[in-house]
Each structure stands twice: as structure tokens, then as C-alpha cells.
Structure 1
């Protein structure tokens, strides 16, 4: 038993359903429930979720700084690793018991958390109705390599002179249903807005990304377990 266990440890570690051969890349075959939601989403986007929120800031020049927004989005990603995971369907892993066609989650430790968060962050000036209409009826926003998407929109430009520092914004946070449900999307949005509106400076927020994280503890247990 000791020899067998040590051999397995040297080849592939198992962390609550996630497996890794190098402690940097983790994978997890989709369970039956996740697979049932994944297939229609991968084919035509059915089951993709979004949450819209409108809010007003008293100090848009500080709170709505693009770098601060990216920082908060990166921190939200770090708290919910599935948001920055991928789904792999055809990857030659000799260590993987899955077939080449079987989808599985793939999570890699971020090399540049802010850059990766920026890749699925968009700034726009569309009103709420257009944002939602484009998401529902336009080209699919989410795909296997980007399982989260955040839009920050200033809405329709005002024709009135704006001599205050207030700002009205629309937020659209998007994620596929096979990684969570409406409650988890609400939680992620709440955490993001809380970070954004906090009294912490952007420099202090950045420290949260520099601190080493125990990703094994942050990775969620498999749904089927």
C-alpha cells in the first residue's frame, strides 16, 4: 500500500476531485449534472447566465478607474477559480483517465492575474436594454476558454453638462450555468461591487493579488461529490 500510494503521489495528486501532476495545472472531468448543462451551452449558448445591476457612484474618478475595476475583477476571479478556468475537450494528457472527447475543467495558476482579468472585461457606453439584447441575441460572449465576462457601461451619454463627479453605470456579469447558479452569480457580483466601493486604495487592493494563495483550498469540490 505504501509503495502504491507514493507512486500515485509522484504521478498525480488528487485534491477533492481535482487532479494535478505538477501542482500548477488542475483538471476535473465534468460530472453528469455539469455535462448536462454544458452541452447545450457549448452548442448554442443555452443556459448562459447574466446578472445586470445599475449603480451610481459619488466619485467616479476614483472608484471607476479602469485599473481599480480590473483589480477588483481579478480578486473576484481569485476567490472563485472556476471563473478563470477553461473547458478542455481535446487535449493529449497521458496522465488523464478521460478520453480525448470528454470535457473537463482545466485550471492553471494565473501568471498575471490583472492581465487575465482584463481579457474578459469590457468597457462600453450602451444602455441597459442594448447590453442585455446584445447578450441574448448577439454572438455568444462566453466560450470554453473564457467562462466569465464583465461589462461596465456608462450608459447613454448625457446631453446635459455634467459638473459633478457622480456617475451612473450598468454592470453585466456573465457566466455559464454549468459552473454555478443564479445565487452564485449574485454572490460574485456582490463581492465585486463591495470591493469596488470599499475605502481601500487601489494599492491595497493590489496587495491582495500579490499575497500567495492556497489554490487547493480555493478550488471548489466537484459537484457530484
Structure 2
């Protein structure tokens, strides 16, 4: 197959939504970033997201019919959650959305993607991360609800006639609930899933009765999908179509050179030892800091002119230096995700917030310890400020948007290449069945002799950091209603082999640190020792 041209037009990137009045199907091609997440997920669901929320609420708020109605309403508002995938070639993978024929169809579809269970949170999360894949090409989102066996809200009637009085009568009958919102990563990101969690809680805890929510569903379906509706672009467009385009041949050439130069500067020579394993097995470690210690941490960071995120980059660096005898000439490389929504081209369209909008940046820090051990604290704050400077530079760099375009294209090409490798291997295992020629992806161009003569510095990353910021701001609207007491939030993904990721955020006035890693593919003893050093560094530098 011919590699996609670098001169993508907006039309090529979005593959304008097609609408057929008979089939009522809307579809578009995936963008490069979506494709880079989709192709690796095909085998075992790599990167499938989950958002775990535990809370206390009156039983009738979590009745089956009410949860089903709220889930159906939100899937109507955010069509990618109700979409499916059709793969034609490695270059042509399509998202399809079947316009619902009625609000009742939406409710029936919601019934198939909501599951009530009676088990522990740990069992549910472990089965989602390490068990059989929950999601698929035909099911891009799913909702688990853990309910107490004594809950009277599980099988209550479809609606409550006097909903307001019901709240007053049952306000003291609070039960403990947990929900797990699941979605593929190629249709959304961390910001989207948290905004969705807030919208879900806002809906189920509202003054509306279950019947009113269903009426809202019917009304919004009528506006969006009735026979009189002429809106064709139902599916949100991909990331690359939202960013300002790179215009002009000279500018494209210059941006391409800049991107290559920026990639060549990514130097890192430290990694956690790996083990051979047939499959990944994710482990989650959560450490919340109480309000008093969180205030102390925030104040310490503020007085030193950095954020908690900046400090955590430095902590990851110092913790590794403390437990190893590092190669001082090679720095440590840490990677993180960037929300690209602030860089979008302004648009009048009122579309869903549920879409993928991820960019990437890296922080590179020296690994050698100070000559004098008494200077360790000052060295730490110096590196925290270096992390701050690099983070700001990445977010405000004038070439950020062009680099995002080229990075998306490079990730898409890489995903195609490895998808072909995986499919060929699977074909060999299946008695040598050949892979159809139509699925042949573009292969990288041969490396020139000049390039080979100049060895590239290693760019090995130690781990990734996901800095979600203050989640209290996102959940403010649902918490302000006072009918749900949300107390625990965690999130993660089904991991690839050898992966390790640190999550950091504040919620309920607490700082939360979560480490997720593949215990089969990484040396568990080294990871646990490293995690211990990270927590010691938090106490040593941020709590004194």
C-alpha cells in the first residue's frame, strides 16, 4: 500500500461524514492519533480506559431504570461512545455511528452496555485490567455498577412520581456504590472521561425523575435524529482536523526539519529491568495523602516556585538516582501527555467533548547525585525548576502545533508497521495462513549510509507521568448538589507489556499518587523499591 501523503487536507483527515437516508449510518475515517491507539488495541485491548468512582448515595438514585436512562442520554450526547469500528485496510479504519431509530432503541442499547454486579472493587478492576477484554470493535463503551446486596434501588420501578419528596424521605438511607466507566482510548482521553463522570453524576442526582430523564432522552433524540433532521456531521472530527493546518510547502519543510531535530534531542538511558513474559499483568498501588499533608505539600511547592507536577518529575529523578549506580553521562527521560484542546482552531460547532485530544512532551533531567550529600535538597529543587521550565517551554513552544501534526503522523505510521508485524506473526501461528495483500502497510524508508554513520543517542524512558491536576474543579457541579458523596477516584488503562505509569491528581482536598505497572514484564522487586524511594522523597522534600 502507498504511504499516506504528508499533504493531508482537512477533508482527507476527517473523511467527511457520510450519511445514508436508508441505513441511517454516519461514518468517518480515523485520524492518525486515533489510529495509533486503535491498531495496538485489537488483540487484547491495550490502552482501554477505565474510570473508577466510589460514592455514597440514596438507593433510589442508583435504581436500574434511572442508571439506564442516564447512560442512554449521555451516549446520545456523545456519539463516539455508541459507535463501532470497521477496518478496511491499515490506512482506512472507520468509525461508524448507527443513528438510533427511537429513544426506546437507545434505552435497549444502554441495557446491553450496563452491568450490575455484587463484588469487590478490587475484583472488578483486576478483572477489567487483566481478564478477558470487556470492550470490542462493536462495543466502545461499557458501564459497571457495583451495588450493595441490601440496596433497595436495584429493581425499583421505572420512575418515581414525586422525586423531590423521595429525596427528602430517603436522604438518610445512603448506600455505598462503585461505578466503572469503560471506554476505548482511541475515542477519548483522561479529560473526556472525567468530564463524562461528572455529567453522569449530575444527571442521576438531579431533581429530574427517572421518567423526566427518559423524556429528555426522547426530546434530544427528536432534535438530533428524527426524520426531519438534516445534520450530517454527527461524529466529532479527529484531533488533526481540529488543529490549525501547516500551510505552504516551505513551512511544511521547515516544520519537518524542526520536528526531526526535536526528536533527536530526546536522550535517556535509564529503564527498569524487564523480564520475559507471555502476557502483561497490571498492578495498581494507590497512596492518598490526607488534607493536612496535602496542604503542606502544596505550600512547600508554592514557596519554592513550582507545582506539585514539577516536583514529581524531580522526585522520579532523585528516587532513581538514590537506588542505582547510574551512568552519569546519560540523563533520565520521563514522558507525559498534554491536553491539546487549548490549541484548537475556534469553531462554532457545538459538538461533544468526548474525543481524543492528546499531545506528548518529555522532561530530561540529569541523574548524577550532588558531590556533597548535604546539597541534595537544593539539587532537588533545582531539578524541579528545570522540569517546570521544560514543561512551560513545551506548552508555549511556537512549533507545538506543527510538532503535534508530525508526531501524530509518525505514531500512525509506527502503529501500521507493528500491526502488520503482529498480523504476520498471527498468520504464521495459524498454519501459515497468508495475510491479504490489501493489508500491507507502508514500511519505513531505508536508512541512508550517512545516517547510519551517525549513531543516535539512546532515548529510553524510565516511566510515564499522567498529571491530571485538580479534579475537584471537574466534579464541582455534581458535588454541589449534595445528593452524592463522591470520595474515591482512580483511573487507568489495560497496559501493554513492560509498561509503568505514575498518576498524580488532587481530589477531595487530597493528593493522590497511583502507580500502575506490569508485574510480569518488569522486575517487581526493583519497581517496589523504586516506589518506596518515591514516597520517601515526597516526605523528605515536600513535607518538611
2:65 to 64, 67, 79: 67
Deviation at 1:218, TM superposition (A): 4.9
| 1:103 aligned onto 2:93 | yes
By relative contact order (CA 8 Å, sep 6+), the higher-ranking structure is 1
Deviations 1:63-117 (A, max 9, x none): 1110010000001101110000000125xxxxxxxx5983200001123000001
**Residues 1:21 and 1:100: Cα distance change in structure 2 (over 3 Å):** farther
**Matching residue of 2:258:** none
**Residues 1:128 and 1:135: Cα distance change in structure 2 (over 3 Å):** same
Deviation at 1:188, TM superposition (A): 1.0
Q: Report if the CA contact (8 A) 1:123-1:151 is conserved.
A: yes
The alignment partner of 2:108 has SS state of: helix
| 1:151 aligned onto 2:144 | yes
Q: Could you tell which deviates more after superposition, 28-37 or 99-108? A: 99-108
Greater Rg, structure 1 or structure 2? 2
The alignment partner of 1:210 has SS state of: helix
1:81 to 79, 98, 103: 79
Q: Report if the CA contact (8 A) 1:69-1:196 is conserved.
A: yes
**Matching residue of 2:51:** 51
- Taking the TM superposition and a 5 Å limit, the aligned residue runs for 1:29-40 are 29-40=29-40
2:205 to 177, 197, 200: 197
How many equivalent residue pairs? 196
**Matching residue of 2:113:** 120
Deviation at 1:170, TM superposition (A): 0.6
The alignment partner of 1:143 has SS state of: coil
Q: What is the distance in 1 between the residues matched to 2:84 and 2:234? A: 16
Q: Report if the CA contact (8 A) 1:63-1:196 is conserved.
A: yes
| 1:213 aligned onto 2:223 | yes
Deviations 1:166-206 (A, max 9, x none): 21001100001100101101111111111111111111111
Q: What is the distance in 2 between the residues matched to 1:123 and 1:174? A: 14
Q: What is the distance in 1 between the residues matched to 2:61 and 2:17? A: 37
Deviations 1:108-158 (A, max 9, x none): 112300000111100001111111100000000000000001000025x58
Q: What is the distance in 2 between the residues matched to 1:209 and 1:71? A: 8
The alignment partner of 1:214 has SS state of: helix
Q: What is the distance in 2 between the residues matched to 1:122 and 1:108? A: 22
**Matching residue of 1:133:** 126
Q: Report if the CA contact (8 A) 2:15-2:28 is conserved.
A: no
Q: Could you tell which deviates more after superposition, 122-131 or 209-218? A: 209-218
**Residues 1:16 and 1:39: Cα distance change in structure 2 (over 3 Å):** closer
Deviation at 1:221, TM superposition (A): 2.1
| 1:27 aligned onto 2:27 | yes
Q: Report if the CA contact (8 A) 1:16-1:222 is conserved.
A: no
Q: Which runs of 5+ in 1 are unaligned?
A: 1-14, 91-98, 159-163
The alignment partner of 1:44 has SS state of: coil
Q: What is the distance in 2 between the residues matched to 1:139 and 1:100? A: 25
Q: What is the distance in 2 between the residues matched to 1:72 and 1:149? A: 13
In the superposition, the TM-score normalised over structure 1's length comes to 0.80
The alignment partner of 1:174 has SS state of: strand
1:173 to 178, 181, 191: 181
**Matching residue of 2:448:** none
**Residues 1:16 and 1:45: Cα distance change in structure 2 (over 3 Å):** closer
Q: What is the distance in 2 between the residues matched to 1:123 and 1:106? A: 27
